[in-house]
Structure 1
Amino acid sequence: MTNQSQRTLLVTGASGQLGRRVVELLLAAGERSVIAGSRTPAKLADLAGRGVQVREVDFDASPEGLAASFEGVDRLLLISTDAVLEPGRRIAQHARAIAAAGRAGVRHVVYTSLTNPGPESPIGLAVDHRESEAALAASGMSSTILRNNLYTESLLQAGAQALASGQLVNAAGEGAVGYVTREDCARAAAAALASAEESSRVLDVTGPELVTQAQLAAILSQLGERPVQHVNVTPAQLREGMIGQGLPPVLADVLVGFDCATAQGTLAVVSDAVEQLTGQRPTSAAEFLRAHRAALVGA
């Protein structure tokens, strides 16, 4: 990551796990002009103590207020918001943020998107990213679209349940996923934000290899020293089971959508973007799960 101290970098959602880690990585790389933005700036007091400028950045604020939040910023990391259970809200939030960034004179926007967010995606959230990417393309600003694959961290809870029951149950079929760790996503985002690249580009941010559910079951079996079998169910069965366990239907629909995307091959993408951006190979799913074995099998 090259330090170009004359530029001002702003990270939105900096009180979240991904955003906070990006800010930490920028500081570690020697970036001197870093702004951490959040709806709840009080949560960033520790970063302020390390010399980071903290600003309130609320995508639901007035256009004027939001533009003021981006004043003086050269490069902006726009982390997609957490309004995933309110259809249409994220699209509106991102559109307001992009418009405000343009009015404030931001030159380049880095946006955290989703693998293959086109109309063919069965993931309900894909439209949020598709519309946000379109808004960026129409904004006149250059952009780096980071299409993050599924977080490897999502396997911890499912993996622990599979080891306890002996069955990895989902509706993913024989599909494969280019699982990527949150840390690798943060490293990629920090590098893209701090780079000198000013042209627009779309990058798939993935782990180093594709992993099927059968392969995942085999990894879990080895780590837990007990047999784990992948059991495929229909999307309707999976949704019914999730709702039966207390999940709100809207959340169950989101989760089932990811399984359907896996089964259809939408998430079967691997690239070298992480290594190209950071100079370091991303962590594989097997490596990550091995490092978190205690969380899977019990301390």
Structure 2
Amino acid sequence: MSAFDNVPFLVTGASGHLGRIAVEELLARGATTIIAGTRDPSKLADLSAKGVELRKLDFNDPASLPAAFAGVERVLLVSTDGVGARRAQHEAAIAAAKQAGVRHLVYTSAPAARPNADAGLNPEHFWTEIALAASGLGFTILRNHMYAENNLADAAHVIASGQLFGLIGDRGTAYVTRADAARTAAGALLSAEGDSIEDVTGPAAVTNEQRAALYADISGKPVAVVPLMPADLKAGMVAAGIPEGFAEVLVAFQRDAVSGHHGVVTDVVERYTGRKPQALGDFLRANKAALAG
């Protein structure tokens, strides 16, 4: 039993990858009143059959928010995919939660959230954290580190080319799987009290050199790291067809790895889930087929 098993929970973005796993974890851990918020409730009919209440919740439709938050005591606010609009979306959700009488809100943020103009996606998370801290709600901010799944986007290309491009001075990234992050969020909903900011990480910081070695070991093909300066890395991304704005975001992630922001390692996953987080190597081996392209 957890401290809040029997109170009404709302999970936003419940049809997304993280939100859905969080709902399933709440079910598995005995939560009795779970509300899944989503733009399209028809996508979650199977969860409805398991006793989950479905509510329409569209961050682009502020009028949908009061009904979605009504009667809820604890909320998991999964950061939206509306880059550029997220701050306004999140602030509207926090305001609706406060108006509805929500007591505690768990938010999925990012490591080293800060307002700096060169901080990639971090400013939107930073201002959300500020709004949440000023709201008067109890809060748990979960700064999810880089998802292990992000490696699958280009791992096949890296292996095929034999080259992994990264910034000079990389100090490692504590990759965490989306499933571990989602289960952690569910655990925080069930038990977190007071106000806290926590880094959600994998079990170790993995450098580009170590990641290249994992790719080589799993694929049987040599992979070498090519260290670059930020301007050269961005130029290479743009030349490869990545939009300039997104390339800048990707470089910002790597700058944070150089500065050490992504190398933090904590016990937060194990504390909220009772299980150790999956290591990047184990995750990549479990997804070996994706590494072949």
TM-score (norm 2): 0.94
Q: What residue number does 2:239 align with? A: 244
Matched, 1:34 2:34: yes
Q: What residue number does 1:92 align with? A: 88
Query: Partners in 1 of 2:156 and 2:255 — Cα distance?
Result: 22
Cα distance, 1:120 vs structure 2: 5.8
SS of match in other structure, 1:180? coil
Cα distance, 1:249 vs structure 2: 2.1
Match for residue 253 of structure 2 among 258, 269, 277? 258
Q: What residue number does 1:69 align with? A: 68
Query: Partners in 2 of 1:132 and 1:174 — Cα distance?
Result: 28
Q: What residue number does 1:194 align with? A: 190
Q: What residue number does 2:79 align with? A: 80
Query: Partners in 2 of 1:49 and 1:246 — Cα distance?
Result: 44
Structure 1 residue identity aligned to 2:95:
A
Residues 172 and 262, structure 1, Cα contact 8 Å, conserved in 2: no
Residues 6 and 31, structure 2, Cα contact 8 Å, conserved in 1: no
Sort the Cα spacing of 1:101 and 1:32 in 2 relative to 1 into closer, same or farther, 3 A.
same
Sort the Cα spacing of 1:51 and 1:178 in 2 relative to 1 into closer, same or farther, 3 A.
same
Query: Partners in 1 of 2:181 and 2:248 — Cα distance?
Result: 25
Residues 114 and 149, structure 1, Cα contact 8 Å, conserved in 2: yes
Query: Partners in 2 of 1:48 and 1:173 — Cα distance?
Result: 49
The answer for unaligned runs of 5 or more in structure 1 is none
Q: Percent identity?
A: 49
TM-score (norm 1): 0.93
Residues 122 and 261, structure 1, Cα contact 8 Å, conserved in 2: no
SS of match in other structure, 2:76? strand
Q: What residue number does 1:211 align with? A: 206
Q: Which moved more, 1:51-60 or 1:269-278?
A: 51-60
Structure 2 residue identity aligned to 1:47:
L
Matched, 1:151 2:150: no
The answer for unaligned runs of 5 or more in structure 2 is none
Residues 172 and 260, structure 1, Cα contact 8 Å, conserved in 2: no
SS of match in other structure, 1:243? helix
Equivalence map 1:129-148=2 (5 Å)? 129-148=125-144
Cα distance, 1:95 vs structure 2: 0.6
SS of match in other structure, 2:264? coil
Cα distance, 1:172 vs structure 2: 5.9
How many residue pairs get matched? 293
Residues 115 and 127, structure 2, Cα contact 8 Å, conserved in 1: no
Cα distance, 1:221 vs structure 2: 1.2
Cα distance, 1:13 vs structure 2: 0.5
Structure 2 residue identity aligned to 1:207:
G
Query: Partners in 2 of 1:40 and 1:245 — Cα distance?
Result: 35
After superposition, the CA RMSD in angstroms is 1.7
Cα distance, 1:157 vs structure 2: 2.7
